[in-house]
Amino acid sequence: MDEAGTRLLVVSNRLPAVLKKQEGEWRVIPGSGGLVSAMAPVLRDRGGTWVGWTGASNVTSDGQVDSLLTAYSRKAGYTLHPVDLNEEDIKGFYYGFANEVIWPLFHDFQSRCRFEPEYWRVYLDVNRKFAREVAAASTEKDYVWVHDYHLMHVAWMLKEQGLTRRMGFFLHIPFPPVDIFLKLPWRHKILQALMEYDLVGFQTHRDRRNFIQCVKIFDPQAKARGRGPVIHLSSGERTTRLGAFPISIDYSSFSKGASKTEVKEAAAEFHTALKERTIILGIDRLDYSKGIPQRFEAMRSLLTMYPELQGKVSLVQVVVPSREEVAEYKMLKEEIERLVGEINGQFTRPGYIPIHYQYRSLERKELLAYYRASSIALITPLRDGMNLVAKEYCACNSSRNGVLFLSEFAGAAAQLQNWAVLVNPHDVEGVAKSIYQAYAMDPAEKRKRMTKLRESIRKFDIFWWVDSFLQAAFERKLGDFPPMESVTYSGQAQSGV
């Protein structure tokens, strides 16, 4: 195919900027989270279209909303194409199927799943809606890149509508092992839907292996061919390419950002406020997959097993509000706050607080300052697709005196295991012991490890990731997508993106 005029369409549940009504007026709020952090710099640089939900219900016929989105598109350097969802859609598809079925199941929390048949029906309807918007926003020449577990059926629905598009899919969360996946009532349909994409990308080889094993349960004749990052899987009539592409960050923007004077000053102030203690940092969205209570228990073990560290180390834990409308998340917040109270009650002394807990979102400058000022990043999810915070911490640690703690169950561990301190987050005393060792780690050893971590993250950054995916998709590189002519880029990065 002649590739001139090919545009990139990114499709995800939420647009990178969402709508909120404040004092009767709609406002566009830049989003945060892993997917936005990863894709926004790419579309910002190359132009294209982002198709997704606005975060509010029944809004697209509102003229004020249209002009807000157009203005945002012009500033961002790419077009926002909204998908309108109603209250019922949001309940069944987003809170229901995505958050109460797929998210817990794919993170190995089967007991938290609610396999409601109604959720499944609404999920299919909403994927059909997305497919219609993709059809409206694209031509056969474009490349459509669908993201994440909310939208596994978009290629299937386009086919149902009699349309063909070149389509790839990337799963940002883990793909579970067979015995867990098989619990899903709609397991075979999900596998068939994923096989409709030309390319399916996973975070790690392990996720891809799990997927292949699941397909083979339903089709023992299915054949995987090839080796390396991209292989072919044939099942029945379909052959799909499967890739393992560990997602990454815009390394240079983090590392340059962290060296700015204002960030250095903010980091110094932060240190002074905490009386020059060793800072252990945790930054997570509110989610049970992130292992926050277990981390607090590890902190309690640390201060109990090594009382000489009382008064010398503090954990700064930022919890970013997320999915607060879901009962499970509300309960988790209560559990976190109860534990903070309990541990602080036990170890606080005049001038010393062991856990500095903050339930809020940080400004980018603050986020970078926190990364810079911390001696240890304690990244201990119980299960995580990748974990970008781990990579951002290293990119910001230009003084190379920090230590990255990483859960064995984070996708990032596959890439960074040789130089991070790997831990089992369930083993709270083991984590405490490792922190104690890291506290006394030789600075030369810290420097050596951090240098290696930074080299790996710099080399395999977000632009490498996009290139790898597009190269695998149809032998195109990121540079082959020219910026769209119809929009002018203001050159401003948006906070929280």
Active-site entry in 172, 284, 287, 461: 172
Q: How far apart are alpha carbons 429 and 305 in whole angstroms?
A: 8
* Alpha-carbon span 284 to 292, nearest angstrom: 8
The pattern of x and - marking residues 278 through 297 that bind ligand GDG according to CB under 6 A reads -----x-x------------
Does residue 362 belong to the site contacting ligand GDG (CB under 6 A)?
A: yes
- Residue with smaller CB distance to ligand GDG, 224 or 404: 404
Which residue, 78, 3, 91, is CA-closest to 46?
78
Minimum CB distance to ligand GDG, residue 23 (Å): 24
Distance, C-alpha 284 to centroid of its chain? 10
**Residue 430 near residue 437 (C-beta atoms within 8 A):** no
**Which amino acid is located at 210 in the chain?**
N
461 binds ligand GDG (CB under 6 A): no
Sign of CA dihedral 85, 129, 170, 99: positive
Q: Are 203 and 172 in contact (CB under 8 A)?
A: yes
By CB under 6 A, the residues from 161 to 180 that bind ligand GDG are 172-173
397 binds ligand GDG (CB under 6 A): no
Binder among 8, 10, 11, 38 for ligand GDG (CB under 6 A): 38
What track of x and - describes contact with ligand GDG for positions 302 through 341 (by CB under 6 A)? ----------------x-x---------------------
Q: How far is the CB of 411 from ligand GDG (least distance, A)?
A: 6
Compute how many residues bind ligand GDG; rule: CB under 6 A: 25
Choose, from 142, 250, 384, 467, the residue flagged as catalytic: 384
Q: How far is the CB of 45 from ligand GDG (least distance, A)?
A: 17
384 binds ligand GDG (CB under 6 A): yes
| Helix 34-46 and helix 63-76, axial crossing angle in degrees, nearest 10 | 70
Contacts of 354 (CB under 8 A, 6+ apart): 299, 303, 310, 313, 314, 315, 343, 344, 347, 348
Q: Compute the least distance from the CB of residue 362 to ligand GDG, in Å.
A: 4
Report in angstroms how near the CB of residue 491 gets to ligand GDG at its nearest.
19
271 catalytic residue (yes or no): no
Task: Put the strands of the sheet holding 79-85 in their side by side order.
Answer: 79-85, 49-57, 8-14, 143-147, 166-170, 199-202, 238-244, 230-235, 223-225
Q: CB of 245: closest distance to ligand GDG in angstroms?
A: 10
**Which one among 247, 382, 394, 432 touches ligand GDG, defined by CB under 6 A?**
247
Selected range binding ligand GDG among 261-269, 300-308, 386-394, 441-449, rule: CB under 6 A:
386-394
- Among 6, 12, 13, 37, which residue sits at the site for ligand GDG (rule: CB under 6 A)? 37
- Closest distance to ligand GDG from the beta carbon of 238 (Å): 26
- Is 384 one of the catalytic residues? yes
Residues 403-442 that bind ligand GDG (CB under 6 A): none
Q: Which is nearer to ligand GDG, 198 or 384 (CB)?
A: 384
Closer to ligand GDG by CB, 123 or 288: give it. 288
Q: Considering the rule CB under 6 A, would residue 387 count as an interface residue with ligand GDG?
A: yes
| Least spacing, CB of residue 442 vs ligand GDG, in Å | 29
Give the residue with the Cβ less far from ligand GDG, 231 or 493: 493
Q: Which is nearer to ligand GDG, 318 or 423 (CB)?
A: 318
Burial status of residue 86 (CB atoms within 10 A of its CB: 0-12, 13-18, 19 or more): exposed
> What is the smallest separation between the CB atom of 44 and ligand GDG, expressed in angstroms?
15
Applying CB under 6 A, among 69, 146, 302, 367 the residue interacting with ligand GDG is 367
Q: Does 31 bind ligand GDG (CB under 6 A)?
A: no
Task: Answer yes or no whether residue 372 interacts with ligand GDG by CB under 6 A.
Answer: no
CB-wise, 178 or 320, nearer to ligand GDG? 320
153 part of the interface to ligand GDG, by CB under 6 A: no
d(CA 107, CA 175): 8
Stretch that binds ligand GDG, among 1-9, 13-21, 272-280, 357-365 (CB under 6 A): 357-365
Binder of ligand GDG out of 388, 413, 450, 478 (CB under 6 A):
388
In the complex, the smallest distance separating the C-beta of residue 97 from ligand GDG, rounded to whole angstroms, is 17
Q: For binding to ligand GDG (CB under 6 A), which residues are involved? A: 32-35, 37-38, 172-173, 247, 283, 285, 318, 320, 361-362, 364, 367, 384-389, 392, 496
- Known catalytic residues? 172, 384
